[in-house]
Chain A
Amino acid sequence: MRKALQKRMEAQKYVWEGAIPLQIHLHESQVTTLPPPPPALILAPRIGYLPLLVPLIKPHFRSTLPPGVDTIWFEYRGLPLKWYIPTGVLFDLLCAEPERPWNITVHFRGYPGNVLIPCDGEDSVKWSFINSLKEAAYIINGNCKNVMNMSQSDQLELWHSVMNGRVPVRLYVWGLSEDFDDLEDISQVDSWEKISYVNRPVEIHKEGKCFTLHDAMKNLLPEFFSDESLSDSKLAGVDFEDVQKIPSEDVSSNKVVEDRGQNAYEHREACYISSSAEIKLIRIQGIEPKLEIPFSWLVNNLLNPDHFLHICVCVKVPQ
C-alpha cells in the first residue's frame, strides 16, 4: 500500500514538475533596436499557462519595445496560442515532433481579438482556472458549490471518488487528411479550425472489466470505432510498467522519459480502428499511453490542477 502511494506521488511529482523549455522570440514588428534582442529562454511548467510567464519575459525585452500599451499574446508559426490551454497541452498538440526548445513568438501589440478571448494578465488566467475547477467539481460531484472552501483532506476525498462517475475530460483532436510515417513529415497546424475541441465528461461504467483508455476513447470518439476487435493493432507508446518507474525530482529525468517516448515513434504502428479514419497518436501530459492502460490510472496521475484530463489526439481523416 505504501509502495503504491509512493508510486502515485512520484507520478504526480512528474506531472507537477514537468516543464517545457521555451525559446521565446520577440516578433520582428516590435523590434526597435539593432541588433535585435536575443530570445528569452524559459522553463515553462507543463501545468501552467503562458500569460503567467510574462513577468519573466517582459523585463527581457523591455528596452526594445515600442512605446505604448502592451497587449501580450503568443504564437507558434503564425498560429495564435490560446492562453487558457495549459502550456503542456499546447506543446503536445501543436508540436507533433516535440521540439526542444520550443520556439514560440511573443507579441506586445496587435492582439487578435477576433480569435482570442481577451487576457488581462494573471487575473484572467486565475478566473479561467477557477471556472474550469468549478466545472470539474460539478462533473465529479454534481454541484459547483463549496469546492473552494473545502479542506485539503475533503478535496482529496472528492477527487478520488471519481471512479464511479463522470470524469472531466478536455479532448483536442487534430484531423489530418494526409497519411504519414514520420511525425516530422506532418504539415503543422495553421488554424484552430483543424482542431476539434470536445469538452465532454467520460462516463465510467463499472462492469467488472477494467475500464481502459480504449474504452474512454470509444466513449469520446465513437465515430472512430467500428465493431472490429483491436487484438492485433496497438499504438506504440510507453508501457504501463515503465510509467510506474518514472523518476521524479529534476527536469533532466523528465527529459529522459520524453526522449523514450520519442524513440517509440520509429516503431509506431498506426491504429487501424475503422476503415475510413484512424487514430494515429494519443498524448496525455507528454506521454503516449497504450490503449490498454486502466483509465483510472490516467485519472489518478495525469490530471491537471484544474482536475481535467487534457487529451491530445491526432487522427487521419478520409478526404
Chain B
Amino acid sequence: MCLATLEVFWTVIEVMMDVCNWDGTVSAKDFRIGALSFAQKWESLNSAFPPWSWVPCPKHSWLASHEEEGYLSLENICISRPNEEDIDQNSQTDPGEEETSCSEKEDDIDDATLVQSNHHELHYCDFHVVYSYTFRVPVLYLRAYCSDGRPLLLDEIEKELPACSSKELPETKWAFITQEEHPYLKRPWYKLHPCGTSEFMKLLFLGGDTAQPKLEVVLELYLLSWFSAVGQVVGLTIPCKMLNDR
C-alpha cells in the first residue's frame, strides 16, 4: 500500500470514535453527507486533479423525491497508459509514485496526460460512486470509451487498468467486476463488486480513539478511506492535501 494510504489509516484511527460494534456500513444519508463534504473539499483545494462532483438524482424520473439521492461523478479521465518514452513523466494512471511527491508534480500532470503517442487512440473513463442500499456501502461504477465514444470491452479496460484484471484479483472476474445497469442512468456500466467493502471498512476503523469529531469529518474520512482502497484498483489517486489538511 502506498504512503498516502497509510497516512489516511493513521489519521482515521486517531480521529474515529469507538467503533467496535460498527459493521463497516453507512446509511444513505451519511453517504450523501460524506460525499458532499468530500466533493467540496476536493474542489476547494484547486489542485490539478479534476474535481469530483455530486450529481443529484431524483428517485423517480417523474417525481421529486423529498430525500435527495445522487452520486459522485468524475468523468473524462484519460486512462491510456503512457508509452515507453513517457515513462519518466507521471500520468494520472500511476498510483504509487505521485503521492509521495505530489506537491511538485501536480503541475506536470495536465501536460503528462496530453503527451501520448499518436499511434494508439486514447481511452477515457467515467467513474461514479453510488450508494448501494443492499450492501450499505459506496460502490464504484465505471464506464470506459474511446475518443470517438465507442465503449470499451472488459478486456480492453483490463489492459489499461491491470489491477482490475482477474489475474491480479483473487476472485474471478465475474465475482469482482460485473456489468450491470447503472442504477440512475439505466445504461450498461461496470461495477466493482461491493461484497467485501464493509469488512475492509471495519478493519480500517478498528482500534479508534474515543475523540468526538464532527459528523461530516467522520463521514468524509469514511469516503476517503474507502477511496484509498478501492481507487487503487482503477488507478484513481487522491491529492495529498486532502489527506494532510487535518
- The chain A residues found within 8 Å of chain B, CB to CB, are 82, 113-118, 127, 131, 134-135, 138-139, 142, 144, 168, 173, 175, 177, 192-194, 196-201, 222-223, 277, 317
16 contacts between A and B (CB under 8 A): A113-B188, A115-B187, A117-B179, A118-B188, A131-B174, A131-B178, A175-B62, A196-B62, A197-B181, A197-B183, A199-B183, A201-B133, A223-B63, A223-B65, A317-B60, A317-B62
Given contacts A193-B186, A197-B183, A317-B63, contact A144 B195 (CB under 8 A): yes
Complex partner residue of B188 from A117, A193, A200, CB under 8 angstroms = A117
B226 at the interface (CB under 8 A from A): no
Known: A113-B151, A196-B62. 13 other contacts (CB 8 A): A114-B187, A117-B188, A134-B195, A135-B134, A168-B134, A175-B62, A194-B62, A196-B61, A200-B133, A200-B134, A201-B134, A277-B63, A317-B60
Q: How far is the CA of A60 from the CA of B178 in the complex (A)?
A: 33
| Residues of A contacting B186 in the complex (Cβ-Cβ under 8 angstroms) | 192-193, 197
- The answer on a CB contact under 8 Å between B178 and A199 is no
| Residues of A contacting B134 in the complex (Cβ-Cβ under 8 angstroms) | 135, 138-139, 168, 199-201
| Residues of B contacting A114 in the complex (Cβ-Cβ under 8 angstroms) | 187-188
Q: How far is the CA of A198 from the CA of B181 in the complex (A)?
A: 12
Q: Which 10 A-B pairs have the closest CB atoms?
A: A196-B60, A200-B133, A175-B62, A117-B188, A144-B195, A317-B62, A135-B134, A127-B174, A117-B179, A139-B134
| Residues of A contacting B180 in the complex (Cβ-Cβ under 8 angstroms) | 117
Q: How far is the CA of A222 from the CA of B66 in the complex (A)?
A: 9
Q: Give A132 Cβ to nearest chain B Cβ, in Å.
A: 10
- The answer on a CB contact under 8 Å between A199 and B179 is no
Q: How far is the CA of A198 from the CA of B62 in the complex (A)?
A: 14
B135 at the interface (CB under 8 A from A): yes
Interface size class of B (residues with CB under 8 A): 20 to 34
Complex partner residue of A117 from B23, B66, B133, B181, CB under 8 angstroms = B181
Q: Give B137 Cβ to nearest chain A Cβ, in Å.
A: 11
| Residues of B contacting A193 in the complex (Cβ-Cβ under 8 angstroms) | 61, 186
B63-85 contacts to A (CB < 8 Å): 63, 65-66
Q: How far is the CA of A132 from the CA of B187 in the complex (A)?
A: 18
Q: How far is the CA of A192 from the CA of B65 in the complex (A)?
A: 19
Q: How far is the CA of A219 from the CA of B68 in the complex (A)?
A: 16
Q: Give B201 Cβ to nearest chain A Cβ, in Å.
A: 14
- The answer on a CB contact under 8 Å between A138 and B178 is no
Given contacts A116-B188, A134-B195, A138-B195, contact A177 B62 (CB under 8 A): yes
| Residues of A contacting B188 in the complex (Cβ-Cβ under 8 angstroms) | 113-114, 116-118
| Residues of B contacting A142 in the complex (Cβ-Cβ under 8 angstroms) | 23
| Residues of A contacting B59 in the complex (Cβ-Cβ under 8 angstroms) | 196, 198, 223
Given contacts A117-B180, A131-B178, A144-B195, contact A175 B63 (CB under 8 A): yes
Q: How far is the CA of A118 from the CA of B151 in the complex (A)?
A: 12
Encode contact with A along B153-181: 1 for CB under 8 Å, 0 otherwise: 00000000000000000000010001111
Q: How far is the CA of A88 from the CA of B179 in the complex (A)?
A: 23
Residue of A nearest to B188 (CB): A117
Encode contact with A along B35-72: 1 for CB under 8 Å, 0 otherwise: 00000000000000000000000011111011000000
- The answer on a CB contact under 8 Å between B135 and A138 is yes
| Residues of B contacting A177 in the complex (Cβ-Cβ under 8 angstroms) | 62
- The answer on a CB contact under 8 Å between A199 and B195 is no
Residue of B nearest to A114 (CB): B187
| Residues of B contacting A197 in the complex (Cβ-Cβ under 8 angstroms) | 181, 183, 186
Q: How far is the CA of A131 from the CA of B178 in the complex (A)?
A: 9
Q: How far is the CA of A139 from the CA of B133 in the complex (A)?
A: 9
Q: How far is the CA of A258 from the CA of B132 in the complex (A)?
A: 35
| Residues of A contacting B135 in the complex (Cβ-Cβ under 8 angstroms) | 138
Q: Give A273 Cβ to nearest chain B Cβ, in Å.
A: 13
Q: Give A304 Cβ to nearest chain B Cβ, in Å.
A: 16
- The answer on a CB contact under 8 Å between A175 and B195 is no
Q: How far is the CA of A197 from the CA of B183 in the complex (A)?
A: 8
Q: Give B30 Cβ to nearest chain A Cβ, in Å.
A: 16
Q: Give B179 Cβ to nearest chain A Cβ, in Å.
A: 5
Residue of A nearest to B58 (CB): A196
| Residues of A contacting B195 in the complex (Cβ-Cβ under 8 angstroms) | 134, 138, 144
| Residues of B contacting A115 in the complex (Cβ-Cβ under 8 angstroms) | 187
| Residues of A contacting B23 in the complex (Cβ-Cβ under 8 angstroms) | 142
Given contacts A127-B174, A198-B59, A201-B134, contact A118 B187 (CB under 8 A): no
| Residues of B contacting A222 in the complex (Cβ-Cβ under 8 angstroms) | 66
Q: Give B131 Cβ to nearest chain A Cβ, in Å.
A: 11
Q: Give B64 Cβ to nearest chain A Cβ, in Å.
A: 8
